[in-house]
Chain A
Amino acid sequence: MHETIQDSATVTLLWTTLGALLTVATFSFLYRDNPIYKVAEHLVVGVGAGYFLVLLVYTTLKPKLFDALAEGHLWYIIPGVLGVLMWLRFSRKLSWISRYSIAFYIGTSGVSIPLYMYNNVNRQVSSTLDLGMGFGSLTEVWGILIVLGTLAGLVYFFFSKAHKGAFGGFAKFGILVLMIGFGASFGYTVMARISLFVQRIAELEDWGAMLIAYFFS
């Protein structure tokens, strides 16, 4: 029993040590490109590619093609054939056939047009108009400012007219509004990244504690 616990602790320590060393190896890139970083880089690229290949087999090919065909859903043969056609890319003479699969794949992106219209147009317009607007309170004045910022942003993205004169001035106000938004987004995301960094450092600290506990207790 004692040996089993000891074995388990050793295995955990080994894996944690590997993770910690790879973390340090990745951070070493901040100094400069070096052989230790190269080892970590090649390891993660190789493992990533291999892992996704297996994941693809077990989350897509098996359940969505082989199992579906085995259950008698024969129309699944169509995407199966389209997938097989992609392999013809390796043939010099028949590689053109693989373009049918690609065309089908890209063509289906048209399905998302109504969703884009809803999310990027209808919802945005409705939300803009739902702001309380007027001159009765500060909140209502803010509502009007937000609407002005939205209109100016749209003017900035007008490509059929040169940004000159009053039109250009309003477009400049638009890019100013966008930059204020980007600045806020930047700060927010950087804070999130710092919290990730802190978490990683905390894990290194835990690893140190684990090492001390293992060897000295």
Chain B
Amino acid sequence: MRHLLRLFLILLLAFVVDGQSVYSQESDPVTSTADSVATEPVTPPPASAFGLAGEDMPNDNGHKLRVKWQYPAEAVGDITGFEIWRATSPTGEFRMLGQAPNDYFEYLDIGNKETPAPDFMANNSDFFYKVVAIGKNGLRTESEPGGPFRTYGQWFHRGKTPVLVGVVLFGCFTFYFIRAAKKGKELYVRPLAGIEAVDEAIGRATEMGKPTLYILGIGTASEIATIASFAILGRVAKKIAEYQTQLIVPCYDAIVMSIAQDVVRSSYLQAGRPDQYSDDMVYFVTNAQFAYVAGVNGIMMRQRPATNFYLGYFAAESLILAETGNSIGAIQIAGTDQITQIPFFVVACDYTLIGEELYAASAYLGRDPLLLGSLKAEDWGKGIVMALIVVGVVATIFGWDGFRELIRVNL
């Protein structure tokens, strides 16, 4: 019994000693961590930006503000950059707009013009800004809200003055030459090979007893190329009505189709053949680009037109159409103001109206004073552009850069 009691006491003592050693082992790291924290230098949060100033940007519609701030030069190295926040009142909810590097002390806030957009900025409204300095240690310091800064929209963009001068000058030329044309002044337009060939092409279709296919492109009715094409369509349709041959005009756009129907109908009327006109000549195919191409290619392969016209706005479908037309042996006259598509028409068509020739063609065919006057005004405009380039080149060579700045548009 005594042995047992002694053994129990020894075990109890051992347990207590062991427990003390475990406790001391566990507490050591805690003590050391606490010591290390206590000895590390505490990094303060970065200095705050101050002196916030906002200025309305000129030549805009009241949706831009430039925000500037100051920052202590000696503290710039402690931060990685700034965040810029905006609100409509100093106590309102601020929204982060963007960031600026640590050596940049201004930010151009370009707001959205649309009301539902989250970064909407109203014209003639006050805004408040905060700049948050972001320390290299991850700490951030907000500045005091700055403001109110007001946005002002301007009616006139001074940087666009050269555009205004160009438009006014061109407008004056146009009015002058239209008036001159209406008074009966003879305005010369040089012959265009593609347009000279129109009669020949329609005559060929008549002789072969095959239809003529006229494609207005895939532009909308407000595209300038499509408008020019309507004028040419009128002339082509009139000639076709006179020759009593068949015309096919598959359309890509429903409104273009409506206008084309009116144009063709009035051409048939002018030719004294209103009975020959049918709405089925001008019809809608589809509004999907390559589906339209597939449809028109099918028409070409099945109806075998002798003459194809591609006049208007064209995109990637130009080569596919022109190649198919070429494969069926049709005489092809094309024209577009899309520079990237002209090469395809040049290689696959018999005649191509390049760019502005398409607009000139409508004036040449119609001899309408409005169109002739506009064409003459364009020529004068080109003359002025050429003169500007020549003077500009001479000025550049002699180091007078002021001339270039005179005609430069600053957006």
Residues of A within 8 A of B (CB): 26, 29, 32-33, 37-38, 40-41, 44-49, 51-52, 86, 89, 98-99, 102, 105-106, 108-109, 113-114, 117-118, 121-126, 128-130, 133-134, 144, 147, 150-151, 154-155, 157-163, 178-179, 182-183, 185-186, 189, 193
Q: Is B397 an interface residue (CB 8 A)?
A: yes
Q: Which of A29, A33, A46, A125 has the most CB of B within 10 A?
A: A125
Residues B407 and A117 in contact, CB atoms below 8 Å apart: no
Given known contacts A121-B385, A125-B389, is B190 in contact with A49 (CB within 8 Å)? no
Contact of A159 among B262, B290, B360, B407 (CB under 8 A): B360
Residues B291 and A151 in contact, CB atoms below 8 Å apart: no
Given known contacts A151-B389, A160-B187, A160-B188, is B301 in contact with A33 (CB within 8 Å)? yes
Residues of B within 8 A of A (CB): 160, 162-164, 166-167, 170, 187-190, 221-224, 227, 255, 258-259, 262, 284-288, 290-292, 294-295, 297-298, 301-302, 319, 339-340, 342-344, 346-347, 354-357, 360, 363-364, 375-376, 378-379, 381-382, 385-386, 388-390, 392-393, 396-397, 404, 407-409
Contact of A185 among B162, B222, B292, B343 (CB under 8 A): B343
Residues A126 and B221 in contact, CB atoms below 8 Å apart: no
11 contacts between A and B (CB under 8 A): A40-B294, A41-B297, A41-B298, A44-B288, A108-B222, A117-B167, A126-B407, A147-B393, A157-B355, A157-B357, A159-B379
Q: Which DSSP category, helix, strand, loop or mixed, fits chain A's interface?
A: helix
Chain B neighbourhood of A51, CB < 8 A: 288
Residues B294 and A41 in contact, CB atoms below 8 Å apart: yes
B87 to chain A, nearest CB (A): 26
Residues B347 and A123 in contact, CB atoms below 8 Å apart: no
Residues B389 and A129 in contact, CB atoms below 8 Å apart: yes
Chain B neighbourhood of A124, CB < 8 A: 385
Residue of A nearest to B254 (CB): A86
Residues A158 and B167 in contact, CB atoms below 8 Å apart: no
Separation of A185 and B306 alpha carbons in the complex (Å): 29
Chain A neighbourhood of B301, CB < 8 A: 29, 32-33
Separation of A102 and B396 alpha carbons in the complex (Å): 48
Chain A neighbourhood of B360, CB < 8 A: 159
A60 to chain B, nearest CB (A): 12
Q: Which of A33, A105, A182 has the most CB of B within 10 A?
A: A182
Residues A29 and B297 in contact, CB atoms below 8 Å apart: yes
Given known contacts A48-B286, A133-B397, is B340 in contact with A109 (CB within 8 Å)? no
Given contact pairs A37-B298, A182-B342, a sample of 11 additional A-B residue pairs in the complex whose CB atoms are under 8 Å apart: A29-B297, A44-B290, A48-B287, A48-B288, A52-B286, A102-B259, A125-B389, A157-B356, A159-B379, A160-B375, A186-B344
Residues B222 and A106 in contact, CB atoms below 8 Å apart: yes
Given known contacts A40-B294, A114-B163, A134-B397, is B392 in contact with A129 (CB within 8 Å)? yes
Given known contacts A33-B301, A159-B189, is B286 in contact with A133 (CB within 8 Å)? no
